[in-house]
Chain A
Amino acid sequence: MTLIRKPLSRRSILRAGAAGGALLATPTIFTSRAWSQGYLNEPTGSTVTLGFNVPQTGPYADEGADELRAYELAVEHLNGEGDGGMMSTFSSKALKGNGILGKKVEYVTGDTQTKSDAARASAKSMIEKDGAIMITGGSSSGVAVAVQALCQEAGVIFMAGLTHSNDTTGKDRRANGFRHFFNSYMSGAALAPVLKNAYGDDRKAYHLTADYNWGYTTEQAVRESTEAMGWETVETVKTPLAATDFSAYITPVLQSDADVLVLNHYGGNMVNSLTNAVQFGLRDRVVNGRDFAIVVPLYSRLMAKGAGENVKGIFGSTNWHWSLQDEGSKAFVRSFGQKYGFPPSQAAHTCYVQALLYADACERAGTFNPCGVVEALEGFEFDGLGNGKTLYRAEDHQCFKDVLVVKGKENPSSEFDLLEIVEVTPVEQVTYAPDHPQFAGGALGTCNSGA
């Protein structure tokens, strides 16, 4: 057998050169949809698996249960069951109610236990054993940062749940990670003007701060925002995360000349420190002729329920509240309320929205490839998901939207009606530069598809 080779002609060389040049010159917009092959856990059958990594045990188990309810609702809606929830109010119309890219959505769950190592282990198991294409959830910044880094290494998308520390989209940001929830900086920026209106611009603040990453960034954010409007910070004290009785930290406040106490605490810490502060009469105290004030930078309805009557009249901020009257919020509350019998928490809302945003990004990208999804989410502007117009900023993968300042309600009408919205702070007021000092030191890097 003879192999006959055609000799290279001048014409064939020119033809090949022209074709190669045209390929290189093609704008990337035409190639962005070419993420079709060669990525981790590429769904090959008729289903796609998502991994919901939430605290099912440990101190945030109730919050985790609400997150899981929201994810189950989102899966129902994505698969075309139920009333569709916020899919009908979402500004993007890429979702059709037939799963994602025509594949039925299935899910697996993991238990973060609100411990970084346990959260990483459960995420790893869902990626490696269950073939999860995306991991989402969580109720703590420590967990979010740890799982986000794992997803980056593995090559899957991470859609963060409830995480409020600046670091998640600051120094620990990752190309594969996205956060819809607001952050410490935004809380400080939204709260400061409201506090100034309520309490004046010459107050003396005493901070009690949970001794871990989220506490530090929240203290810094609130301190810088309030100092910028004229408040003085008289003392900042770190409290152990494991502390249950805060009386030893509250009593020095009585000895100081502070007239505001800022509790940079969350979860059980917040419930106990606020309860102790009220027991020691701080809410009824008068210092230098002015009523003493307590501030809780990050509120959640579940925490407010734990603190009971002690939250009355106390300011804080929140990402979303079920009493909002926009069409998206109403649709979500109706859908969630009819299924479960009570209104959703802010943790449930952010998780539901993240699931929808991920699915929508896949549809718009035309692929599950993480790098395609990253490209579809970066700079994505949307509306109709409960927070008004929102931008997923490309530079840090942080959502920018309005922030709610809330206050503990004086006369709640039900066990869910504990917070009232005092102000919807416009997004412009809480927007910052990507290289703001509170977020410095991090870089997204490049997306990893796990190929």
Chain B
Amino acid sequence: MDAILLQILNGLDKGSAYALIALGLTLIFGTLGVVNFAHGALFMIGAFCAVMLSRLLSLSYTTIDPDRTDFLGNPLKVETPYVEAWFGPETGAAIIDWSVPLAILFSIPIMAVIGLVMERGLIKYFYKRPHADQILVTFGLAIVLQEIIKYFFGANPIPTPAPDVFAGSFDFGAMIGMDPNVIIYPYWRIVYFLFAAVIIGGVFAFLQYTTFGMVVRAGMADRQTVGLLGINIDKRFTVMFALAAVVAGLAGVMYAPINSPNYHMGMDFLVLSFVVVVVGGMGSLPGAVLAGFVLGILESFASMAQVVSLLPGINQIIIYLVAIVILLTRPRGLMGRKGVMES
């Protein structure tokens, strides 16, 4: 029982990342009709926004300590962050410690601008091209973005810890009346899940309860009619592309403390997120979220030693297996709409 509960918890935070990326993918596909293979790269850039802010906050000036030496025997250069000099050692250290949550604010304008530039500068030229062309150009873009990040940050993962207050784990089992020391869960993963829930809720509320959102939903349902009403739907869809980039970026920022960011992390998530979108139903936002969590949890269960010993290799194919079964039984996915990607 406790093992099952733990795997559900694991699946929830992995599912949160899948759901956030798949939500953005679906937003772009549902509005612009573009299959964006560069979406994983946006997730990765989000994580590197956290790295970037952490480095900016840690910018230091150098003093020489004549009493200590470096590895070559020269007087040691001591680095002191400017924020510690400006705000005092304690406050300065606390600001650096909170760089990941602060990066949420830092990343929003960056991701929005990247989204706008991507859409206006490249992707808009591919709206009327076949999906295969869109996939090729966005996949190429993803590789370019990946290499740019590698050029500046290297190929090694970069540790980007959560604030000290969220470091470590807590006894979830004891909290719900089970034996102590059995279900231990990291604080930050719970924070990640809650954060994802807030973002997903925010996006749905925005689409559901604002005029802008209502127009976008109308445009997703029937773009031509909305255009005939004199509404510039293209402009709104461009904003939605930027919003999807921000969602992917935020997912990446908050994921940085879970796994040290590296230039390849977007690709690791991209393929799985596409499967999530297809299973959820192309163009369906609730479908993307539901499939994200379902597949995240299934993947966690398939990784259990007992399951792997029974069915070796199942942990690596479970998501694709489920996708095949669902597409055979429900060709439009869990919550797919009629007419999407159907000629």
Residues of A within 8 A of B (CB): 57-62, 235, 237-238, 240, 242, 244-245, 247-249, 251-252, 254-255, 268, 271-272, 275-276, 279-281, 284-285, 302-303, 305-310, 322-323, 333-334, 337-338, 342-343, 413-414, 416-417
Chain A CB within 8 A of B3 CB: yes
A279 touches B188 (CB 8 A): yes
Residue pairs across A and B with Cβ atoms less than 8 A apart, 25 shown, are: A60-B155, A242-B268, A244-B265, A244-B268, A247-B300, A248-B7, A248-B300, A248-B304, A255-B182, A268-B262, A271-B260, A275-B259, A279-B258, A280-B186, A281-B168, A303-B156, A306-B156, A307-B159, A308-B161, A309-B159, A333-B71, A337-B71, A337-B72, A413-B76, A414-B71
Which single residue of chain A is at the shortest CB-CB distance from B301? Answer: A248
Provide the bound-state CA to CA distance between A306 and B159, in Å.
6
Question: Which residues of chain A are near B158, meaning CB under 8 Å?
Answer: 306
Number of residue pairs A-B, CB distance < 8 angstroms: 124
B168 close to A248 (CB less than 8 A): no
Query: Which residues of chain A have C-beta atoms less than 8 A from B76's C-beta?
Result: 413
Q: Which residues of A contact B155 (CB under 8 A)?
A: 57-62
Given known A251-B6, A255-B3, contact A268–B186 (CB-CB < 8 A): no
Q: A251-B7, A252-B304, A255-B2 are in contact. Are A61 and B150 (CB under 8 A)?
A: yes
User: A302 contacts which chain B residues (CB < 8 A)?
Assistant: 156
Residues in chain B within 8 A of chain A (CB atoms)? 2-3, 6-7, 10, 13-14, 68, 70-72, 76, 150, 154-159, 161, 168-169, 181-186, 188-189, 258-260, 262, 264-265, 268, 299-300, 303-305, 308, 315-316
Contacting residues, chain B, for A240 (C-beta < 8 A): 315-316
Known pairs A251-B7, A272-B259; A62 contacts B154 (CB<8 A):
yes
Query: Are A248's CB and B10's CB within 8 A?
Result: yes
Option from B157, B183, B189 in Cβ contact (under 8 Å) with A271: B157
Provide the residues of chain B in CB contact with A254, threshold 8 Å: 6, 182-184
* Chain B residue at smallest Cβ distance from A273: B259
**A271: B residues at CB distance < 8 A:** 156-157, 159, 260
Contact assessment for A252 and B159 in the assembled complex, using a CB-CB cutoff below 8 Å: no
B residues in contact with A310, CB < 8 Å: 159
Q: Which residues of B sit under 8 angstroms from A62, Cβ to Cβ?
A: 154-156
What CA separation (Å) do A244 and B70 show in the bound complex?
A: 35
Residues A247 and B159 in contact in the complex (CB < 8 Å), given A272-B260, A279-B258: no
| Min C-beta distance of B27 to chain A, whole Å | 24
In the complex, chain A residues whose CB is within 8 Å of the CB of B258: 245, 275-276, 279
- Nearest CB of A to B318, in Å: 11
Q: Please tell me if the beta carbons of A284 and B168 are within 8 angstroms of each other in the complex.
A: yes
Flag if B303 contacts A249 (CB, 8 Å): yes
Judge whether A245 and B14 touch: CB under 8 Å. Answer: yes
Given contacts A255-B3, A268-B157, contact A248 B169 (CB under 8 A): no
The contact of A238 among B7, B71, B186, B308, by CB within 8 Å, is B308
Q: Contact at A280–B72, with CB atoms within 8 Å? A: no
- Contact yes or no, A247 B264, CB < 8 A: no
Among candidates B6, B188, B260, B268, residue contacting A308 with C-beta atoms closer than 8 Å = B260
List residues of chain B with CB within 8 A of the CB of A285: 181, 184
* Contact partners of A281 in chain B: CB under 8 A: 168-169, 184, 186
Known contacts: A308-B159, A337-B71. The answer to whether A280 contacts B169 by CB under 8 A is yes
How many Å lie between the Cα of A138 and that of B107 in the bound state?
37
Q: Which residues of A are found within 8 Å of B168, using beta-carbon distances?
A: 279, 281, 284
A247 near B260 with CB under 8 A, answer no
Give the docked Cα–Cα distance between A32 and B278 (Å). 67
For A309, list chain B residues within 8 Å (CB). Answer: 159, 161
Q: Which of A272, A279, A303, A305 contacts B186 (CB 8 A)?
A: A279
Alpha-carbon separation in the docked complex, A413 to B154 (Å): 23
Most B CB within 10 A of own CB, among A275, A302, A413: A275
A325 → chain B, closest Cβ, in Å?
A: 12
How long is the Cα–Cα vector from A235 to B308 in the complex, in angstroms? 12
Which among B183, B186, B264, B305 has the highest number of chain A CB atoms within 10 Å? Answer: B305
Q: How far is the CB of B151 from chain A (nearest CB, A)?
A: 10
**Docked CA distance A60–B157 (Å):** 10
**Bound: A338/B299 CA distance, A:** 49
